């Protein structure tokens, strides 16, 4: 494996000052190792092996757990080169090294890929404060947001503020199991100001079967990835009620419209064009037809809302996590706080169904309401 760096750092919060020299190679760490985290590591590892500007090795932080066999997940990944629990049957690349020690996994890395379920990012960031290189660049593949008393905060902003580093995002129509099998997909990198950094992320993720497009609209890209999970839950209810494709298409259209209005409510800078990128309409389509949120919401509706999402998630996903129910609650809190629930009937109804205040069939009653926003 290529440990042929011209500079090698041993202290954890390195400032990178020695790295502005010819021959510097970037080091990549992936923080998270669920199904998408493992695929992200595979994509990145393919490129670090082939691009001379990167160290070959990609560290992947694993939230450690013990498998039924008694073996640690990290040991199993390093022994088999597969994430036997979250992405079985897929070789990650021999240059992917699983590490259960978060500090060690990020040490020396100047490119950090964050890809955990969003409910865990708070603790992860807190434990990383002071541990990452001050010149590191981050990218978030996390679909979700942080909602605090003071308001909603994008995950990329949260990472940026906690760790004092810039954070871009990568979102898109990306069902992990399909990309793992190298079926063609697209994704969108959202960046703030620095096009050069965006190009580096594009280069790191692009493969012959994964086409990545940069868009200067970090908020629009990230919020699309976040909000589509709420629409996915609504689509699952429609499936569970056997309402058919026309109803589902209507729900998708209403959902996209509320996504756009919610984005613009939070950030007036969000661009309409962003909704036509992979992170927008394409992700809504794939997630509403093949995503976990939709599948579990379908089961919820088929059970008449009598089995909780937590119970169905544990049974159907075996350790994988849903984002849509939590995000639905977070969106609801933002809207309630601003007195705008009436303007977002789909989002509001999704949360009220998930929390047991309304039956799943209420999603159809919603669809009979008039258009709220001017089209």
Ligand X SMILES: O=P(O)(O)OC[C@H](O)CO
Ligand Y SMILES: NC(=O)c1ccc[n+]([C@@H]2O[C@H](COP(=O)([O-])OP(=O)(O)OC[C@H]3O[C@@H](n4cnc5c(N)ncnc54)[C@H](O)[C@@H]3O)[C@@H](O)[C@H]2O)c1
In the complex, the residues that contact ligand Y under the rule CB under 6 A are 32-37, 63, 86, 115-118, 120, 141-144, 174-176, 320-321, 323
Instruction: Say if residue 306 carries a ligand binding annotation.
Output: no
Q: Choosing from 25, 42, 107, 228, which is the catalytic residue? A: 228
How many Å apart are CA 324 and CA 152, to the nearest integer? 16
> What dihedral angle (degrees, nearest 10) is formed by the CA atoms of 283, 287, 293, 297?
130
Binding residues for ligand X, how many (CB under 6 A)? 12
Q: 232 touches which of ligand Y, ligand X, none (CB within 5 to 8 A by kind)?
A: ligand X
- C-alpha R_g of the chain: 21
How many Å apart are CA 97 and CA 168, to the nearest integer? 24
Q: 110 touches which of ligand Y, ligand X, none (CB within 5 to 8 A by kind)?
A: none
Smallest gap from residue 32 Cβ to ligand Y (A): 6
How many Å apart are CA 255 and CA 297, to the nearest integer? 15
Nearest residue to the partner ligand X, using Cβ: 291
Instruction: Say if residue 17 carries a ligand binding annotation.
Output: no
Which of positions 109-168 make contact with ligand X (CB under 6 A)? 143
Instruction: Say if residue 143 carries a ligand binding annotation.
Output: yes
Instruction: Say if residue 308 carries a ligand binding annotation.
Output: no
| Among candidate residues 182, 212, 211, the one with its CA nearest the CA of residue 42 | 182
Smallest gap from residue 18 Cβ to ligand Y (A): 32
Q: 35 touches which of ligand X, ligand Y, none (CB within 5 to 8 A by kind)?
A: ligand Y
Nearer to ligand X by C-beta: 31 or 39? 39
Smallest gap from residue 133 Cβ to ligand Y (A): 22
| Among candidate residues 242, 251, 262, 279, the one with its CA nearest the CA of residue 341 | 262
Smallest gap from residue 91 Cβ to ligand Y (A): 17
User: Interface with ligand X includes 248 (CB under 6 A)?
Assistant: no
Instruction: Say if residue 34 carries a ligand binding annotation.
Output: yes
Q: 286 touches which of ligand X, ligand Y, none (CB within 5 to 8 A by kind)?
A: ligand X
Which of 40, 173, 243, 334 touches ligand X by CB under 6 A? 173
**Are 36 and 84 contacting, i.e. CB atoms less than 8 angstroms apart?**
no
Contact residues for 53 (Cβ-Cβ < 8 A; gap 6+): 25, 26
- Structural tokens at position 77: 């990944």
**Are 256 and 275 contacting, i.e. CB atoms less than 8 angstroms apart?**
yes
Interacting span for ligand X (CB under 6 A) from 100-108, 117-125, 170-178, 329-337:
170-178
**Are 46 and 208 contacting, i.e. CB atoms less than 8 angstroms apart?**
no
**Are 274 and 258 contacting, i.e. CB atoms less than 8 angstroms apart?**
no
Q: Determine whether 228 is an active site residue.
A: yes
Containing H/E element for 112?
strand 111-114
How many Å apart are CA 273 and CA 42, to the nearest integer? 30
Report the binding-site residues: 32-37, 63, 120, 143, 176, 292-293, 321, 323
Catalytic residues: 228
Report the binding-site residues for substrate: 143, 292-293
Could you list the residues that contact ligand X (CB under 6 A)?
Answer: 143, 173-175, 232, 283, 286-287, 291-293, 323
């Amino acid at each position: 494996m290529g440990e042929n760096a011209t500079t090698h750092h041993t202290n954890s919060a390195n400032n990178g000052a020695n790295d502005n020299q010819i021959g510097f190679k970037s080091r990549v760490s992936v923080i998270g190792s669920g199904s998408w985290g493992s695929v992200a590591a595979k994509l990145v590892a393919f490129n670090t092996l082939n691009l001379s500007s990167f160290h070959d090795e990609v560290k992947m932080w694993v939230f450690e757990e013990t498998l039924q066999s008694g073996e640690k997940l990290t040991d199993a990944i390093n022994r088999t080169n597969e994430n036997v629990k979250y992405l079985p049957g897929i070789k990650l690349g021999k240059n992917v090294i699983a590490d259960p020690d978060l500090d060690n996994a990020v040490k020396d890395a100047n490119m950090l890929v964050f890809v955990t379920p969003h409910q865990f990012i708070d603790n992860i960031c807190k434990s990383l404060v002071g541990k990452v290189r001050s010149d590191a660049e981050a990218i978030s593949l996390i679909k979700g947001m942080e909602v605090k008393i003071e308001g909603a905060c994008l995950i990329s902003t949260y990472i940026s503020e906690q760790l004092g580093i810039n954070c871009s995002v990568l979102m898109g129509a990306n069902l992990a199991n399909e990309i793992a099998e190298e079926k063609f997909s697209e994704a969108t990198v959202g960046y703030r100001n620095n096009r050069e950094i965006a190009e580096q992320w594009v280069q790191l993720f692009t493969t012959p079967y994964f086409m990545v497009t940069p868009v200067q609209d970090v908020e629009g890209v990230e919020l699309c990835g976040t909000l589509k999970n709420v629409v996915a839950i609504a689509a699952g209810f429609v499936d569970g009620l056997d309402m058919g494709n026309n109803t589902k298409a209507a729900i998708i259209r209403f959902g996209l419209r509320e996504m756009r209005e919610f984005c613009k409510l939070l950030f007036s800078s969000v661009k309409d064009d962003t909704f036509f990128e992979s992170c927008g309409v394409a992700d809504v389509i794939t997630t509403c037809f093949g995503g976990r949120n939709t599948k579990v919401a379908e089961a919820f509706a088929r059970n008449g809302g009598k089995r909780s999402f937590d119970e169905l998630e544990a049974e159907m996903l075996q350790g994988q996590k849903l984002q849509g129910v939590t995000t639905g609650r977070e969106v609801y809190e933002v809207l309630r706080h601003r007195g705008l629930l009436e303007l977002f009937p789909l989002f509001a109804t999704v949360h009220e169904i998930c929390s047991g205040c309304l039956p799943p069939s209420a999603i159809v009653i919603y669809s009979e309401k008039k258009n709220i926003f001017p089209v």
